[in-house]
Structure 1
């Protein structure tokens, strides 16, 4: 039986309650009986889903939104010190809790699986949530994206398993004490918080060090950063390490991946026996995510053949190669990819799924700091498309960096031989794409910002 409310979390107020990570925690607390309130910058489907659970959601930020009897204020690293609700909390003496601490408290007393890595966390966490639910284990989960089936990013279950996406961006994943930790890959990202790969490795090593005694680390045997992390781990006396991947040395070895349109058939070698199952999203990187999920479930004692069958019920996460629609023979697909490795993986997956189609990309860079460090690699990734539209940088939580614009990506893409069109006004993109797209083409909206809003708009324009 899952535990009830953590101490001091019965009347929480969330600043930025509509965010992927924040909303998930708020939903679970509401389902556990807390009186949840919060604010966000704009209306959204997430805000409505929270209200449906009984939460009070204010639009805009104002000191008056914080109730005097709030027991805590939950914030993420994106909330600035001058936020009026945060200032009001200090005046009232209301404790401020980081979202990672709130999530850690929700996991207390449960068998936690924490999914970490530079890429693939949301997908792998989602695969586990779907499979464990399919098996009747009724897990709790907190994910950075909405599942296609249940349509939500979080749920309070009655079972004893909690599956959580573990965010390395601000080192918050170091707060968790999982029974099973997954590390999918380790690369340099989040440049505002990490100055070097050594800092990244140190952070992941701290995360792995929090696995409970007797617990398991599931880690890639293929990805260079993950292999390096494994070699750096020092105290292994209380930790079981299970590797997965195509490497001949992997404990769970990927024997074969067979593309079948927008799905894949995966065969693994586990404990001397071959096991084949279906992954309902295209691309080898998603297949490897599924194998990591399989290995983690087995580490919890779930029979491999049951879990493999249940993984086939996973149908995707919103924004992870999500088909938005088709008009006049043109398919529009949405991708959350914003790091060059993710961009390359998704573009290659689409090439493999529809080899004869032209691939048109609408790319919105995310964060000035990421563009400054990885803009050249982003441009090189876009060379995999037949043609691309590149928007201005989506700033999210950052202030502009002098001299850093989308031109850095555009120049690199053109140097790599890509056909790139810069578009400063996002509202004109549907018209631009309508002038480019032909029957049989795939249009991919790509990025972690509001580029996702363009999919329906492009479909509407194509229908005309």
Structure 2
């Protein structure tokens, strides 16, 4: 039986309903019988899929979009205080609920499994959602991206388990009370909200402290995750800690990892038993994500041998090394990577997949604050490619910072010996890339902004070149 919809969520209004996190919560609420409405800046496939569930989606933001009988207004940290619908909510005394509180309320009455970390959350959450569904567990899930199989970022299931991506960017993951939690890695990011690694660790410690008594924290091999585990170790009433990694002393030992083109074969030893399975996305970090998923599922009582086999059913998630197509002998792949660590991991994976062919990257920096702090590291990461095209910064929710431009990245890339070119008009990119890539090459569009839209246009230009 589905958990009851909280009274405050019976008629919710979402501002920015088309966003990855917001749309997922709206989808689950609609599936549970709530009368859901909301608004977004533009129409999208996500908005269309919500309308199919009976959700009212307004385009643009206006005070009149908020129905007088709305029981709450759901917002994310990206919504500004002067949004007209938020202003209208104050006038009508409609309660305002943060996205994380809404998601937390949906987990009540379930067995929550929360996936956290600076990188890899979406992939690992997706792996668990797919594998548990494959095993007939019928989980609920809320993910920051669309699964390649079911093609959706969230689902209400009748089973007991709820798998959720836990976002640290605004500390909202501290709202959840998971039975099992995963922390894949811990690094400094989201510079508008965190001033130091100490603040980051404090935030992750607060997240871990919310694990229910008798629960488990699964930590990856990343030094930041292991430092978190060391800080938590021995605390009275703290969670059991399970380590995952390639080091032989890990509780869940990744004994081997064998690249096979755009996939990997992984052998994992847990409780003395070896489990071998295929990960459909290339790269060491994706194999580590799968091993963490295996460890977490086992702590919920899922048979690890069955779960290992079910993980093979995972076929990817939108924007995580997602193949976009092939034209004129050139394969185009899309990556959400926007932090230097993510960039390096995906570029190394694609470097291996390309083998002796050229790897051409189209990179769009995301956020002025991130570029200001990590621009040089981004540039050094691009040196892993044979050639790079760098776009202007995608601002998202931020205002420009004087002196912070893509040139910071380009200079660092050139200093590292990279072949790099700046393209300021996104519309020029497909023609530029078509002139750089030849048969057998790989093109990787990379970044958290709208660079993802370029894949089809690049393929079209390549096709035209091939037929000329």
TM-score by length of structure 2 reads 0.98
- Alpha-carbon deviation of 1:236? 4.5
Asked whether the 8 Å contact 2:170–2:193 carries over to 1, the reply is yes
Maintained 8 Å contact 1:2/1:160: no
Which residue does the alignment assign to 1:414?
414
Structure 1: which 5+ runs fail to align?
none
* Corresponding residue of 1:209: 209
Aligned residues: CA RMSD: 0.7
Tell me if structure 1 keeps the 8 A contact 2:113–2:181: yes
1:298 correspondence with 2:298: yes
SS of match in other structure, 2:241: strand
- Displacement of 1:7 in angstroms is 2.5
Alignment of 1:390-401 (within 5 A): 390-401=390-401
What is aligned with 1:310?
310
Structure 2 unpaired stretches of 5+? none
What secondary structure is seen at the aligned counterpart in 2 of 1:8?
helix
Q: Deviations over 1:231-252 (max 9, x none)?
A: 1116253411111001122100
Instruction: Indicate the residue corresponding to 1:144 in structure 2.
Output: 144
Matches within 5 A, 1:350-389: 350-389=350-389
- Are residue 65 (structure 1) and residue 65 (structure 2) matched? yes
8 A Cα contact 1:410 1:420, kept in partner: yes
Distance (Å, rounded) in 2 between the aligned partners of 1:434 and 1:462: 5
Measured in 2, the distance between the counterparts of 1:80 and 1:236 equals 40
Contact 1:2–1:110 (8 Å) recurs in 2: no
Distance in 2, matches of 1:86 and 1:149, equals 36
SS in structure 1 of the partner of residue 462 of structure 2? helix
Aligned length: 463
Q: Which residue of 1 aligns with 2:194?
A: 194
Q: Deviations over 1:78-135 (max 9, x none)?
A: 0000000000000000000000000000000100000000000000000000000000
For the 8 Å contact 1:6–1:105, the answer to whether it is kept is yes
Q: Give the Cα–Cα distance (whole angstroms) in 2 for the partners of residues 129 and 305 of structure 1.
A: 17
| Counterpart-to-counterpart distance in 2, 1:126 and 1:248 | 27
Counterparts of 1:320-335 in structure 2, within 5 Å, are 320-335=320-335
Q: Give the Cα–Cα distance (whole angstroms) in 2 for the partners of residues 403 and 422 of structure 1.
A: 17
The yes-or-no answer on 1:110 pairing with 2:110 is yes
2:403 is the alignment partner of 1:403: yes
SS of aligned partner of 1:436: coil
Partner SS for 1:461 = helix
The 3-state SS of whatever aligns with 1:242 is: strand
Deviation per CA, 1:271-311: give whole Å up to 9, x if none.
11211111111011000000000000000011110000000
Which runs of structure 2 are paired with 1:240-251 in the superposition (5 Å)? 240-251=240-251
TM-score by length of 1: 0.99
State whether structure 2 residue 445 is matched by structure 1 residue 445. yes
Q: Quick one: distance in 2 between partners of 1:71 and 1:309?
A: 44
Deviations 1:155-178 (A, max 9, x none): 000001000000000000000000
Q: Is the 1:113–1:163 contact (alpha carbons within 8 Å) kept by the matching residues of 2?
A: yes
